[in-house]
Structure formats: structure tokens, C-alpha cells
């Protein structure tokens, strides 16, 4: 394999973090969606993951529990404390994440755009906020 071939195979891993916040005032919580709306949302996410897996881009994807199940662990002076929380001032919380391995910055933005448009109540695209971060590699 030549140096040029090796450079062409370089990909970058990104973490896409999906935050949940109602797209607009009065937007219903997911617990208020109809079974059909929830099914359409889950089907969208399932198809997305299959497409990314088939493209060889998906490393891992997971949904996360709600903030009511979060615990914060801290060690100070050798003693561990565990508390509930965090308790953000807004209703926004980290709802899930994907780690993808893609060849270009543009590709990760395309994936984020697709996720952002996931269907919500009434089938309307939700406009989900995603934080897109490159994953740092260890020094070689």
C-alpha cells in the first residue's frame, strides 16, 4: 500500500450528541405522542442506523434514559459522593448519541441534518439539536 493509498483510507470519528428539547412552545412531550407517531420516530431512527451500518460508518448508537435516572459521582478527599442530577434549568437533555466514522466533514453534517429532521408529533420534522464533535485520537 502506498502512502497515497493510506491517506485515502483515513477517516475521522465523530460523536453526534442528540439533545431533546421541544421544537417550539406547546410542542407535546413524547409521552403525549400517539403510538403511530412514536412508531414513525422509532422506524426513522432504525432505518438511519441500518443505512449507516451498511455504509460502514456506524460505530455505535444508543438512546439514553431521561434525566430523572441520572446520577452524578464525585470523589473528593478520597470519599465518593453520589447525587441525583444534573438538574438543568431548561427542559433540554442529552437523549442519545451516535459515533460515526466518516471520510469528510461534509458527510458528518449530512448525517446530523438527517437526524435533525426526524419525525415528531404529527409527523412534523422535529429540528433536533445535535452537537457534532470530532473524537480525538491518542498520540502515536
Q: Is residue 59 situated within a structural domain? A: yes
Q: Is residue 25 situated within a structural domain? A: no
Here the CATH number for the domain that contains residue 124 is 3.30.70.1060
Given a cut of 60, is residue 9 above it in pLDDT? no
Higher pLDDT, 84 or 59: 59
Higher pLDDT, 138 or 119: 119
Q: Is residue 130 situated within a structural domain? A: yes
- Band the pLDDT of 140: cuts 50, 70, 90: low
SS3 53: helix
Exposure string of 98-131, with b = 16+ CB inside 10 Å and e = fewer, is bbbbbeeeebbeebbeebeebebbeeeebebbbe
Q: Is residue 10 situated within a structural domain? A: no
Q: Is residue 126 situated within a structural domain? A: yes
Taking residue 93's Cβ as centre, other Cβ atoms within 10 Å add up to: 16
Q: Report the number of distinct structural domains present in the chain.
A: 1
Average model confidence (pLDDT) for the chain?
86
| Enclosing domain of residue 44 | 33-134
Question: Do 88 and 19 meet the contact criterion of CB atoms below 8 Å apart?
Answer: no
pLDDT of residue 101: 96
Q: Is residue 108 situated within a structural domain? A: yes
Q: Is residue 110 situated within a structural domain? A: yes
Q: Is residue 5 situated within a structural domain? A: no
Amino acid at each position: 500500500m502506498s502512502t497515497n493509498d493510506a491517506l485515502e483510507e483515513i477517516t475521522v470519528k465523530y460523536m453526534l450528541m442528540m439533545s431533546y428539547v421541544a421544537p417550539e412552545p406547546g410542542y407535546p412531550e413524547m409521552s403525549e405522542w400517539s403510538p403511530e407517531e412514536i412508531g414513525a420516530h422509532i422506524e426513522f431512527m432504525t432505518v438511519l442506523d441500518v443505512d449507516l451500518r451498511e455504509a460502514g460508518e456506524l460505530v455505535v448508537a444508543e438512546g439514553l434514559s431521561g434525566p430523572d435516572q441520572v446520577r452524578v459521582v464525585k470523589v473528593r478527599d478520597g470519599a465518593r459522593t453520589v447525587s441525583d442530577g444534573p438538574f438543568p434549568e431548561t427542559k433540554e437533555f442529552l437523549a442519545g448519541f451516535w459515533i460515526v466514522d466518516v471520510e469528510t466533514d461534509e458527510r458528518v453534517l449530512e448525517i446530523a441534518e438527517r437526524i435533525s429532521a426526524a419525525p415528531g408529533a404529527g409527523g412534523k420534522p422535529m429540528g433536533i439539536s445535535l452537537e457534532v464533535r470530532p473524537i480525538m485520537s491518542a498520540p502515536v
